[in-house]
Chain A
Amino acid sequence: MTEGGPNTLEAERGVSLWQDAWRRLRRNRPATAGLVLLVTLVVVAAATPWIAPYSYSAQDLEMGAVRPNLHHWFGTDQLGRDIFTRILYGGRISLLVGFCATGVSLLIGVLYGAISGYAGGRLDSLMMRGVDILYALPFTIFVIILMVFFGRNLVLLFMAIGAVEWLTMARIVRGQVQSLKHKEFIEAAYTLGLSRRRILLRHLIPNALGPIIVYTTLTIPQVMLLEAFLSFLGLGVQPPMSSWGLLIKEGVETMEEYPWLVIFPGIALSTTLFALNFLGDGLRDALDPRAAKD
Chain B
Amino acid sequence: MAKFIIGRVLETIPVLLIIVTMTFFLVRLAPGGPFDAERNVTEETRRQLNEQYNLNAPLWRQYTDYLGHLIHGDLGPSFKNSSRTVNEVIGAGFPVSLELGLYALCVALTIGLAAGISAALRPNTVRDYAPMTFAMAGICIPNFVLGPLLVLVFALWLEWLPVSGWDRPSEKILPAITLGATYAAYIARLSRGGMLEILSQDFIRTARAKGLSEARVVLRHALRGGLQPVVSFLGPAAAGLLSGSFVVETIFQIPGLGRYFVQGAFNRDYTLIMGTVLFYATLILIFNMAVDVAQACLDPRQRRA
Contacts and interface: CB of A to CB of B under 8 A. Distances in A.
Interface of A: 120, 125, 128-129, 132-133, 135-138, 140-142, 144-145, 148, 167-168, 171-172, 174-176, 178-179, 182, 210-211, 213-215, 217-218, 221, 225, 248-249, 252, 255-256, 262, 266, 269-270, 273-274, 277, 284, 288, 290-291
Given A135-B281, A218-B185, 13 more contacts: A125-B11, A133-B18, A136-B23, A140-B266, A167-B236, A176-B228, A178-B299, A211-B193, A221-B139, A266-B145, A269-B140, A273-B136, A273-B139
Nearest to B128: A281
B102 interface: no
Given A137-B19, A168-B236, A175-B232, A218 B186 contact: yes
A278 B72 CA distance: 54
Query: Closest 10 CB pairs between A and B?
Result: A136-B281, A175-B232, A140-B265, A211-B229, A270-B140, A214-B193, A172-B232, A182-B301, A179-B299, A144-B30
22 contacts: A132-B288, A135-B284, A136-B284, A140-B262, A141-B27, A141-B273, A142-B26, A144-B30, A145-B26, A167-B236, A168-B233, A168-B237, A178-B302, A211-B190, A211-B197, A211-B228, A215-B229, A221-B140, A248-B145, A266-B141, A273-B136, A284-B193
B1 interface: no
Contacts of B262: 140
Contacts of A178: 295, 299, 302
B9 interface: no
Given A132-B15, A176-B228, A178-B302, A137 B193 contact: no
A182 B302 contact: yes
A135 B236 contact: yes
Contacts of A125: 11
B189 interface: yes
B211 interface: no
Interface residues of B, number: 64
A6 B280 CA distance: 63
Interface string B28-41: 01110000000000
Given A120-B305, A182-B302, A136 B277 contact: yes
B114 interface: no
A138 B23 contact: yes
B117 to A, nearest CB: 14
B26 A210 contact: no
B152 interface: yes
Nearest to B280: A136
Contacts of B68: none
A148 B29 CA distance: 9
Contacts of B225: 179
A252 B18 contact: no
A291 B200 contact: yes
Contacts of B185: 218
Nearest to A294: B200
B103 interface: no
B149 interface: yes
B15 A133 contact: yes
A141 B261 CA distance: 11
Nearest to A220: B139
Contacts of A132: 15, 281, 284-285, 288
Given A175-B232, A248-B142, A137 B295 contact: no
Contacts of A277: 132, 136, 189
B101 interface: no
Interface in B189-239: 189-190, 192-194, 196-197, 200-201, 225, 228-229, 231-233, 235-237, 239
Given A133-B22, A144-B30, A284-B193, A138 B261 contact: yes
Nearest to A149: B29
A171 B196 contact: no
B29 A145 contact: yes
Contacts of B186: 218
Interface in B136-168: 136-137, 139-142, 144-145, 148-149, 152
Contacts of A255: 145, 148-149, 152
Contacts of A274: 136, 140
